[in-house]
Amino acid sequence: MDLDQLAQTAAAMTQPSKGILAADESTGTIKKRFDAIGVESTPDNRRDYRELLFRSTEAMQNHISGVILYDETIRQTAKDGTPLVKLIEQTGAIPGIKVDLGAKPLPFCPGETITEGLDGLRERLTEYSDLGARFAKWRAVIDIGEGIPTWTAVKANAHALARYAALCQEQSVVPIVEPEVLMDGAHDINRCATVTEFVLKAVFQELYEQRVVLEGMVLKPNMVIAGKKSPQQASVDEVAEKTLKVLKRCVPSAVPGIAFLSGGQSDEEATAHLDAMNRIGGVPWRLTFSYGRALQAAPQRAWSGKPENVEAAQRAFAHRARMNGLASMGQWTSDLEKVAA
């Protein structure tokens, strides 16, 4: 384990005005995205789409610090034979890799899941490091509903996250620790705050017990937000205030940065909430983004699988990356969204 390297990489991943592009959709997930725009999900189409993102110079150089890749993608080459990892590195961004094997039903806990993938992880991390990955990502999924989450589910997922993080750091790979409290239910923002605090405290206790070096990790949490089905939707300011309140109670100052997931928010909602938190400020960590859909929905629609639309898709990606880059510094305004991508 190289502590200096871990700390330097974690700091670079959360540097000012930049954030992380989550391009680690599984084959099944990206098929759903492609189905929505009428594109067949073939290896070549998936490669072409990711390549147009990574060749979007304005976005990648100015506003993207790292890219989370899927197993297929980290092994692919561009049309000209250049490894996609090299395209990312040429822009100054850092390649990373999703290493969990997905959420599976948790025995005896109806409606809850456990993320799998610890078996063989040490060997997979070695291989991914050889392929160019300098950080990794593992997502734990916590749902809110009647009687859930249970302590069983929270404890099991927190423990798996910590085990994963320790294995990453052993290989000098920065772990993104992602405990996601879902926003799919009918709960209000206060219920989300309570559950998020419960989950984060459990995660950091497990990280401590597994001897994870906090300076060499990045936290990727949900924002504290009402469920999609809740009749009581919170304002942008309330989301920002409650999210920061929970984080201050749970996250040690040694953590260098927090890169939020968008979790199903619209493009502009995810940007506005991040901006509001950075305007409040007064926190010891860098607050930035690690968005998938909130960065990619617009370029996917613009591209629609047509080569003649590549430049339009890159402009759309550059626009969303710029908006979130500004939000990561508390400099975004809704008027900027009116500017054509």
What is the spatial distance between Cα 288 and Cα 219, in angstroms, rounded to a whole number? 10
Q: Tens of pLDDT along 252-302? A: 999 999 999 999 899 999 999 999 999 999 999 999 999 999 999 999 999
Q: Tens of pLDDT along 239-249? A: 999 999 999 99
For tokens 């291989």, name the residue.
127
Contact in structure between 74 and 61 (CB atoms under 8 Å): no
Bridge partners (DSSP) of residue 149 are: none
Question: Encoding tokens for residue 87?
Answer: 């395209």
What is the spatial distance between Cα 305 and Cα 309, in angstroms, rounded to a whole number? 8
What is the pLDDT confidence band of residue 338, given thresholds at 50, 70 and 90? confident
Cis before 83? omega within 30: no
Residue 141 — φ and ψ, nearest 5°?
-115, 120
pLDDT at 208: 98
What is the spatial distance between Cα 304 and Cα 261, in angstroms, rounded to a whole number? 25
pLDDT at 143: 97
Average pLDDT over residues 209-221: 98
What is the spatial distance between Cα 76 and Cα 131, in angstroms, rounded to a whole number? 11
Q: Tens of pLDDT along 154-188? A: 999 999 999 999 999 999 999 999 999 999 999 99
Question: Encoding tokens for residue 110?
Answer: 């109806």
Q: How far is CA 49 from the centre of its chain?
A: 19
Identify the burial level of 243 via C-beta atoms within 10 angstroms of its C-beta, where 0-12 means exposed, 13-18 middle and 19 or more buried. buried
Name the CA dihedral angle for 266, 268, 269, 273, rounded to a multiple of 10 degrees.
Answer: 140
What domains, with CATH codes, occur in the chain?
3-330 (3.20.20.70)
Contact in structure between 238 and 192 (CB atoms under 8 Å): no
Per-chain mean pLDDT for the chain: 96
Active site residues: 178, 220
CA-nearest of 236, 292, 295, 240 to 269 is 236
Which residues have CB under 8 Å from 165's CB, separation 6+? 138, 175, 177, 207, 210, 212, 217
Average pLDDT over residues 231-236: 94
Q: Tens of pLDDT along 124-157? A: 999 999 999 999 999 999 999 999 999 999 999 9
pLDDT at 341: 42
Contact in structure between 52 and 303 (CB atoms under 8 Å): yes
Contact in structure between 45 and 77 (CB atoms under 8 Å): no
DSSP-assigned letter for residue 83: B
Is a pLDDT exceeding 70 seen at residue 339?
no
Question: Kind and range of the H or E element at 15?
Answer: none
pLDDT at 340: 45
Q: Residue 281: how many CB atoms within 10 A of its CB?
A: 9
Contact in structure between 317 and 295 (CB atoms under 8 Å): yes
Q: Tens of pLDDT along 73-110? A: 999 999 999 999 999 999 999 999 999 999 999 999 99
Contact in structure between 152 and 113 (CB atoms under 8 Å): no
